[in-house]
Amino acid sequence: MSLEALSDSRNLQGRDADVTRLSNNRSVIGFRGAEDLGDELHAIFQIEGTISPDTGAGSIAARDTRLGLEGKLGTLFGGNWVTPYNGATSSLDPFYPTTAGYMSIMGNGSASTTDNVIDTSSFDRRQQNSLHYWTPGWNGWSARLALGLNEERPANGAKPSLSSAALIYDRGPYYFTVAHERHHEYQGPGTHDDGTKIALAYRFGQTKLAAIAEWLSYETMPGRLERKSYYLSASRQEGPHGLHLGIAKAADTTGSSSKKVGFMQSGPDSGAVHYTVGYDYGFSKRTTLFSYFTHLRNDKNGNYDLAINSVGAGQGATVKGLALGMRHSF
């Protein structure tokens, strides 16, 4: 459970505003288990829901929820689960998935639980009605595949679906991944959207460094939208003290489409930079106090906003926030 007090300073289309908010900062509750079926095969389940201590809202299975089999040949399951594309790099952001998370730029927004029609822009998503297969590990290498099944029938006649894959190397101090995701007919019949990213992380002692590059492409009915973005992070733990830094940069969106998709709209000076510095203090393995300063600056024609606990930032806006919060695990 995590709760934060966040003070925002906003410049929204030339208008300054200061707001102090009490916000949920990712609070979850869940249950998981396995049954031994013999010959190293297990039936597995997980139910994970949301809790909002600031408002009392929540949903019992809105987060990673699944039912499946795990054995020598890998793991096969279905449910409501983060896509391989999402999961391949989320752990490289020390502020994921909070107000200060990289989803403001990387992935073009956050879809905490969605299907093929509720959110047609975000590549940072937890996909409902999805089927997943994870290979066994081999010398640090593994792969993850997922399909977002075509259950929706929008009025425009499209048959939307999703396919997602990630190749991962995780051994010793090194972490490497390349991931790709395609959204079939999300923008209309015959269209497809693609996300591709590559990431590398290295840990030495109590310090971890990470870098990500991402390419997004949308095929809208008026034409294409394309954008590159980059992310760097650094974390260091010294006893109970944790120091964290994250910087995300969106290049200008290009393409012939006049449509806005998520935060992206084609044109010059349409990029943004989002950086966050943070500190946390662990009182115990279960209880931590944290603080961070986050700053999102749009270029003149940029349309980016915080992906979680957004503030309604408009074109060219700057958003700054100072947060103080508490995490407790039980």
The tens digit of pLDDT for each residue in 191-207 reads: 999 999 999 999 999 99
Residue-level pLDDT at 227: 98
- What's the average model confidence in pLDDT over 233-240? 96
Q: Does residue 16 surpass a pLDDT of 80? A: no
CA torsion through residues 304, 306, 309, 312, sign: negative
Check if the beta carbon of residue 88 is closer than 8 Å to that of residue 106.
no
Question: Picking from 17-31, 109-123, 192-206, 215-229, which range would have the lowest pLDDT averaged per residue?
Answer: 17-31
What 3-state DSSP class applies to 102? helix
Residue-level pLDDT at 133: 98
Residue-level pLDDT at 150: 94
Residue-level pLDDT at 46: 96
- Average pLDDT of the chain to the nearest whole number: 91
Q: Does residue 212 surpass a pLDDT of 80? A: yes
pTM over 0.75: yes
Q: Does residue 285 surpass a pLDDT of 60? A: yes
In the structure, what pLDDT confidence band is assigned to residue 68 with cuts at 50, 70 and 90?
very high
Give the model confidence (pLDDT) of 84-119 as tens digits.
Answer: 999 999 999 999 988 899 999 999 999 999 999 999
Residue-level pLDDT at 77: 98
Query: Could you give the CA distance from residue 117 to residue 185 in angstroms, rounded to a whole number?
Result: 10
In the structure, what pLDDT confidence band is assigned to residue 7 with cuts at 50, 70 and 90?
low
Number of H helices, E strands in the chain: 1, 19
Right CATH for 2-328 from 2.60.40.2550, 2.40.160.10, 3.20.20.20, 3.50.50.60: 2.40.160.10
Task: Give domain limits for the chain.
Answer: 2-328
- What's the average model confidence in pLDDT over 198-221? 97
- What's the average model confidence in pLDDT over 41-59? 85
In the structure, what pLDDT confidence band is assigned to residue 329 with cuts at 50, 70 and 90?
confident
Residue-level pLDDT at 280: 95
Query: Could you give the CA distance from residue 313 to residue 21 in angstroms, rounded to a whole number?
Result: 16
Give the length of the chain. Answer: 330
- Nearest of 118, 117, 119 to residue 109 by alpha carbon: 119
